Amino acid sequence: MDRNRNNGTKDIRLVARGVNRMPFGKFLYLLVPWLIILAIGMYAIFLCLAKGLNQTNMDNRFAFGVWIFLDLSIIALGAGAFFTGFLVYILKREELRAVLNSAVVIGFICYSGAILVLMVDVGQPLRAWFTFWHPNIHSMLTEVTFCITCYLVVLSVEYAPIVLRNKKLKEVPAFLAMQYELHRIMPVLAGVGTFLSFFHQGSLGGLFGVLQGHPFAFREGLAIWPTTFFLFIISAAAAGPSFILLTTWIASRVSRKRLVSDNVFALLARISGSLLVVYVMLKSIDTLTWLNRTVPSLGLSGIGFFLWAPFNIWILFAEIIVFGLVPSLFLLFGSGRLRTGWLVASSVMVCCGIVLNRFVMTIQTLSLPTMSFDRFMIYTPSWQEIAAFLFVVAYGVIIYSLSFRYLRLFPQEIEMKVN
Amino acid sequence: MNTTDAINRNASKGTDDVRGKTIFFFGIVGMLFLGWIIFPFFIYAPVAQPVQFSHSTHAGDNVGLKCVDCHSYDKDGRFLGIPGTSKCAGCHSHTIGVSDEEKKFVDEYILRHKEIRWVVYSSQPENVYFSHATHVKVGKLDCETCHFGHEFTDKLRPARFSRISGYSIDVSGSTLLDIPSTPSTGMRMDDCAGCHNKRGHKESCIDCHK
Amino acid sequence: MTNGNQVKSLTGKKHNFGMVIDVDRCTGCGACMIACAVENNVPPGPVDATDRTGITLMRVYKADNGMDFPDNESVFFPVSCQQCEHHPPCVSVCPQNAVEVDPATGIVGQIPVRCLGCRYCMAACPYHARYFNWWDPVWPEGMERSLNPDVSLRMRGVVEKCNFCFHRLQAAREKAAAEGRDEIKEGEYIPACVESCPTSAMTFGDLLDEGSEVYRLAQSNGSFRILERLGTGPKIYYFSEREWVRNIAEKDPASALKRGATTD
């Protein structure tokens, strides 16, 4: 019966047994817009590499622009990979195996995309190895560089068995054997991945928390790390499952299939919600400490940071209450009761909240004046920056679509079909 | 899995291990040989000197010149490097008749008031700062400490420049476990740093890099 | 961490070079900016460079007392790298050790050839004293012959900043060495900006030398530093007789808003 249903697909031999996929022509047709974006983005990246970063609108003040913001955001959203692996392999939450493969693919896309953009973002990409050869161990960026490259390797190794289990590739005995061997070391990889992720998610927060020159971003430390180190870990761990929930839902809507059971959604929502409640609490404590202790000790008034339009006090309110507390309560208390649509909407808000937080840390930090005779500045990214940004999005959509079509991302898909 | 299978697997695993280790060992050795010994021959292009010159003749007993007789400093302490032909003309205004090379030098350069475009073995990259005065006059180093053996050479060897960076083999390259990647006369960054460390001078990057 | 006292420099004595800028004397003429650019081979920049993308290792800022005419008074702050002494914000952030404090002189050195161009140091610097080479350096035909041979050119994609004309210190040391001295004399080494200032508003010297003019001025009553509260120990001091000028250095940037300052 499946054979008949898949008649329209020319690439039937590559599609996993027991699942239905849309006709090949339609699949290509849906990918065309993304391929166009990919091509434009590639041209923009080529321009930036060939002509230099003068193609962007970054300047000496906005040394970090929309790309660093993008990196921080997608690395936070890609945290689902490590966190799901951690939950499945270390804490033995077997239910989440249903989204584990998908989470790995998402993580792989996010990290490879981030590294790709970073390589365009630095002025001398060919010197990238300097950080590995002459590392400054005091720099948060060194920690980030080491951890994200190592973690990308881990993710690639985690991705490999999923690819090798493709129906066609499986016919090669060596691939099957390799897939089996790789599968056995998964718990180890999950452990390593968790360790690496903890450090680089934290270091990305530390990146800004250590900026003693920018009181807006500077946070006092716990041990050797500023508090943003811990806040970034928790917020990424909270956003990760939300993003998995969101992408699973989108995949399920686009393919018009049920991919996971509702209780997986509910579990993801509960995990995300409970972590987010903790995060909102800690973030509030941190913000209050910063406003009432850190900033006054530097002879400034905390409110002074929020007087500069368009980044007024609303941004703090939006970040903590609207996109923090509200969705966290929805996810936490609504996970068993609310319909999936509500959970998805809340997940969108969680992701927005995390992205907003990363925006505040990068863009708002740099826009605020530090000296009294200094100016408040904003910056508009150039088309090349936006195109490179969208390149990563298109790249992600294409990789995910291909993986969804040819690999078995959702093991529950077949049983869902029967029910 | 049944027992026979397991035994077979273990047995073949043993031989596989030995074979794997052997391949790994020879792979590493081969790579090191290729990268450390063979590769420099391809990456550096030889450039011949326009005129031959014998340091051993000039610094030897017959002539008896000291290094600073030709390689001197200006009043600000800047090292003047290789002398111009006017200095050579002090002795070689006309052919003395010691060699064919000397005749060529006098005819083509001295009599035509032309300068020689020497190929400098030790020319450092643009971003390197080095002061001869500091090393020789304050540091009390002999010329031979870095240019060892140069005064005894009878011929000027061809200089070799990297085809990629354009740097001379004498100043580029690095050391790994104290094994230099390229033959050198002691003017790579690692040589500088090694000597400074040995003498207890702790410098910053900007002391040598401008 | 290197212990400052144990460091044996090539030229023996330990220095801590610093500068005092008398802003009461500064007319904001910008000669220091020009002298700096010429001395350090800063390229003129292409036509589409702006004041936000151009390179001004020394930059003159204007500030005023916020009053209306006729009580309005203004002041100019020449701001270059402040050569921070304690944990300079740019040093610890650099992922590949391209920035470090020279223990023998206290000068914060930036090595463009080691720089990857990640620009984290620029984000870290509260004085915005670091500049990125957004373009490859290009000089108008013939002008490249006027380049300073003691300063290397920086390629596009790397960060640069003021290093107190370190090459001038090298030249002074070399001259001293040639004359058989292992120590430079006071006044033998001054950066180009100090040399160019027509009103002699800038004084340069060794802050450890208690007999020096720069030490006396830095210790005097009217001296202050910008953003001293951050605890980075900048080694560029400013000097003014006027109290409101001295207060500007630590004033909350937001206070400008109350006077209706524009937001760009």
Q: What is the CATH number of the domain that holds A120?
A: 1.20.1630.10
pLDDT band at residue A416 under the 50/70/90 scheme: confident
Assigned fold of C28-258: Alpha-Beta Plaits (3.30.70)
pLDDT at B60: 83
pLDDT at C181: 86
pLDDT at C8: 42
Amino acid letter at C225?
R
pLDDT at A7: 52
pLDDT greater than 50 at residue A125? yes
What does the pLDDT average to over A404-415? 88
Angle between helices A186-209 and A227-255 (to 10 degrees): 120
Beta strands in A12-80 (DSSP E): none
pLDDT band at residue A4 under the 50/70/90 scheme: very low
Distance from CA of B27 to the nearest CA of C (A): 31
Give the span between the Cα atoms of A135 and A16, in whole angstroms. 45
pLDDT at A41: 96
Give the span between the Cα atoms of A328 and A322, in whole angstroms. 10
pLDDT greater than 90 at residue B185? no
Give the span between the Cα atoms of C223 and C11, in whole angstroms. 30
Which residue ranges of chain C lie beneath pLDDT 50? 1-11, 260-264
Contacts of C120 in chain A (CB under 8 A): 63-64, 139, 141, 207
In contact, C204 and C79? CB cutoff 8 Å: no
List chains adjacent to chain B, taking adjacency as at least 3 C-beta pairs closer than 8 Å.
C
Cβ of B129 and C170 within 8 Å?
A: yes
User: What letter does residue A124 receive in the DSSP assignment?
Assistant: -
Tens digits of per-residue pLDDT, A362-383?
999 999 999 989 889 999 999 9
**Is it the case that chain B and chain A have 3 or more CB pairs lying under 8 Å apart?**
no
Angle between helices A97-121 and A383-406 (to 10 degrees): 150
pLDDT band at residue B175 under the 50/70/90 scheme: confident
Q: Show the domain range for A20.
A: 2-371+382-413
pLDDT greater than 90 at residue A341? no
Q: Which two tokens stand for residue A364?
A: 């708002």
Contacts of C2 in chain B (CB under 8 A): 202
Q: Are strands B159-162 and C108-110 parallel, antiparallel or unpaired?
A: unpaired
Amino acid letter at C164?
F
pLDDT greater than 90 at residue A218? yes
Cβ of C175 and B73 within 8 Å?
A: no
Domain ranges of chain C: 28-258
Q: Which of A131, A300, A373 sits opposite C116 (nearest CB)?
A: A131
pLDDT at C12: 60
Share of chain A above pLDDT 90, in %: 66
pLDDT band at residue A389 under the 50/70/90 scheme: very high
Query: Phi and psi of B47, rounded to 5°?
Result: -130, 120
What does the pLDDT average to over A190-216? 92
Q: Which of C2, C11, C179 sits opposite B202 (nearest CB)?
A: C2
What does the pLDDT average to over A66-73? 93
Give the span between the Cα atoms of B139 and B183, in whole angstroms. 26
Distance from CA of C231 to the nearest CA of B (A): 24
Distance from CA of A75 to the nearest CA of C (A): 18
pLDDT at C108: 94
Order across the sheet with C202-206: list the strands. Answer: C202-206, C17-22, C236-239, C223-224
Q: Of how many residues is chain C composed?
A: 264
pLDDT at C5: 37
Q: Which two tokens stand for residue C260?
A: 């209706």
A177 within a domain of the structure (yes/no): yes
Tens digits of per-residue pLDDT, B159-171?
888 888 888 888 8
A111 within a domain of the structure (yes/no): yes
Q: Which of B75, B137, B201 sits opposite C177 (nearest CB)?
A: B137
pLDDT at A299: 85
Domain ranges of chain B: 44-49+118-210
Q: Which two tokens stand for residue B50?
A: 């326009």
User: What letter does residue B149 receive in the DSSP assignment?
Assistant: T
Cβ of A299 and C252 within 8 Å?
A: yes
Among A133, A149, A371, pick the best mutation site for testing chain C contact (most C Cβ within 10 A): A371
Give the span between the Cα atoms of A289 and C160, in whole angstroms. 36
Indicate the number of domains in chain A: 1
In contact, B182 and B166? CB cutoff 8 Å: no
pLDDT greater than 60 at residue B77? yes
**Among A178-187, A344-353, C82-91, which stretch is predicted with the lowest mean pLDDT?**
A178-187
**Among B6-15, B135-144, C147-156, which stretch is predicted with the lowest mean pLDDT?**
B6-15
**Is it the case that chain A and chain C have 3 or more CB pairs lying under 8 Å apart?**
yes
pLDDT at C261: 44
* B202 reaches C (C-beta below 8 A): yes
* C179 reaches B (C-beta below 8 A): yes
pLDDT greater than 70 at residue B50? yes
Cβ of A304 and C254 within 8 Å?
A: yes
Question: Which one is predicted more confidently, B151 or B119?
Answer: B119
Which residues are CB-contacts of A249 (< 8 A; sequence separation ≥ 6)?
Answer: A265, A340, A344, A347
Q: Which two tokens stand for residue B198?
A: 């040995």
How many CB pairs (< 8 A) connect B and C? 85
What ipTM describes this predicted complex?
0.90
Tens digits of per-residue pLDDT, A255-274?
888 899 888 999 999 999 99
